[in-house]
């Protein structure tokens, strides 16, 4: 009898230890339920139009925040609290638990995937070229621009476009390195450069938001070869542990991306069906 009691106690203790080990190594994921309970989700963003920025009235908008707010609503989350963060600090803020989601037009890269889990892709970046109205040089690709020896192109310092054009063979004399998009725009307007190379959504947004009268996008525009610089694919970022949140988010996202409602929404920010991620019908 006493022996049976000891065995029973031993089994109970062993079971309790196993439960503790399981909880420690496989914690219960309450990422979605806790957000629903508190009635709000905290979404981090960095200012970079047209992906995320503030209106003149101080409202958060842009391609990523607008899609994110609709996902939150579809998940039954009553309120979104926006938190502006420097782009380089977004992932550390997420890992520290101070934000729940990153909505900043963040590109999916192998390095970032080691730190966070990305949602289904929401966009892919096409390249573009801003030229004088009428496209006097008739530029329709970076490769074509390279063959015209008298053509010079403005690029942002350290940008993907700078690397792309260097790889195509553009010499330093034919690349005008500028600190920002507005400086590049003025270079084209004044004739210092024949075009400004940037992502197509960013250039479209400049044309839309600034009502540029002297400039336009070079269209049609042939995309550069993929090579070692594939088109940027972006999405939302979540903590590795928040599996239930990202799973539920992806269910709604999969139904939304590419829908008429989604296309009408992103067109306001210079995105077209050409910027839809791969495998979207």
Task: With respect to residue 72, please indicate whether it lies within any of the assigned structural domains.
Answer: yes
Strands, DSSP E only, in 66-116? 79-84, 101-107
| CA pair distance 83, 68, nearest whole angstrom | 13
Task: State pLDDT tens for residues 199-257.
Answer: 899 899 999 888 898 999 999 999 887 654 455 889 999 999 999 999 999 999 999 99
Residue-wise pLDDT for 172-198, tens only, equals: 999 999 988 889 999 999 999 999 999
Q: Is the pLDDT of residue 263 over 50?
A: yes
Q: Is 210 found in the same domain as 149? A: yes
Confidence of residue 75 (pLDDT cuts 50, 70, 90): very high
Let me know whether 112 and 137 are in one domain: no
Cis peptide before 243 (omega within 30 of 0): no
Residue 280 or residue 61, greater confidence: 61
Cα–Cα dist 177/142, whole Å: 16
- Give the pLDDT confidence of 23-46 residue by residue, as tens digits: 345 458 898 999 999 999 999 999
177/200 same-domain check = yes
pLDDT of residue 226: 61
Of 186, 188, 144, nearest to 165 by C-alpha is: 144
Are residues 120 and 238 both part of a single domain? yes
Of 203, 193, 230, which is closest to residue 128 (Cα–Cα)?
Answer: 203
Do 204 and 265 reside in the same domain of the chain?
no
Write out the residue range of the structural domain in which residue 202 sits: 127-217
Shared-domain flag, residues 112 and 35: yes
- For 71-87, what is the mean pLDDT? 95
* Dist. CA 107–CA 126, nearest whole Å: 13
What average pLDDT does this structure show over 41-67? 95
Number of neighbours of residue 150 by Cβ within 10 angstroms: 7
Kindly report the pTM of this predicted structure.
0.76
pLDDT per residue as tens digits for the range 116-175: 999 999 999 889 999 999 999 999 999 999 999 999 999 988 887 888 899 999 999 999
Q: What is the pLDDT of residue 149?
A: 93
Q: How many domains are contained in the chain?
A: 2
Query: What CATH number does the domain containing 175 carry?
Result: 3.40.190.10
**Is 183 inside a domain boundary?**
yes
Comparing CA positions, the residue from 8, 66, 73 lying closest to residue 236 is 66
Q: At what angle do helices 63-74 and 260-267 cross, to 10 degrees?
A: 150
- Strands 123-124 and 79-84 turn out to be unpaired
> Is residue 120 domain-shared with residue 250, that is, in the same domain?
yes
Please check whether residues 131 and 189 belong to one and the same domain: yes
Other beta carbons less than 10 A from residue 262's beta carbon: 21
């Amino acid at each position: 009898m006493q022996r049976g009691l000891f065995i029973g106690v031993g089994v109970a203790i062993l079971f309790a230890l196993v439960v503790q080990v399981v909880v420690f190594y496989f914690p219960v994921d309450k990422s979605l339920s806790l957000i629903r309970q508190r009635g709000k989700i905290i979404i981090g963003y960095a200012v970079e139009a047209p992906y995320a920025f503030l209106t003149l009235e101080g409202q958060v908008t842009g391609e990523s925040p607008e899609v994110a707010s609709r996902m939150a609503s579809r998940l039954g989350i009553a309120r979104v609290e926006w938190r502006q963060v420097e782009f380089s600090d977004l992932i550390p803020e997420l890992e520290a638990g101070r934000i729940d989601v990153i909505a900043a037009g963040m590109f999916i890269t192998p390095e970032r995937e080691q730190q966070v889990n990305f949602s289904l892709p929401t966009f892919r970046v096409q390249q573009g070229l801003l030229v004088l109205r009428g496209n006097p040089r008739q530029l329709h690709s970076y490769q074509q621009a390279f063959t015209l020896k008298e053509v010079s192109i403005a690029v942002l310092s350290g940008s993907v476009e700078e690397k792309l054009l260097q790889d195509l063979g553009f010499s330093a004399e034919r690349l005008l390195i500028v600190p920002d998009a507005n400086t590049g725009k003025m270079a084209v307007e004044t004739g210092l450069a024949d075009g400004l190379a940037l992502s197509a959504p960013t250039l479209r947004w400049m044309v839309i938001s600034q009502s540029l009268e002297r400039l336009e996008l070079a269209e049609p525009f042939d995309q550069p070869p993929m090579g070692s610089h594939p088109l940027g694919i972006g999405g939302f970022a979540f903590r590795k542990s928040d599996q239930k949140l990202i799973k539920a988010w992806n269910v709604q996202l999969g139904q939304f991306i590419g829908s008429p409602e989604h296309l009408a929404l992103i067109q306001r920010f210079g995105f077209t069906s050409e910027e839809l991620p791969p495998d979207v019908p």
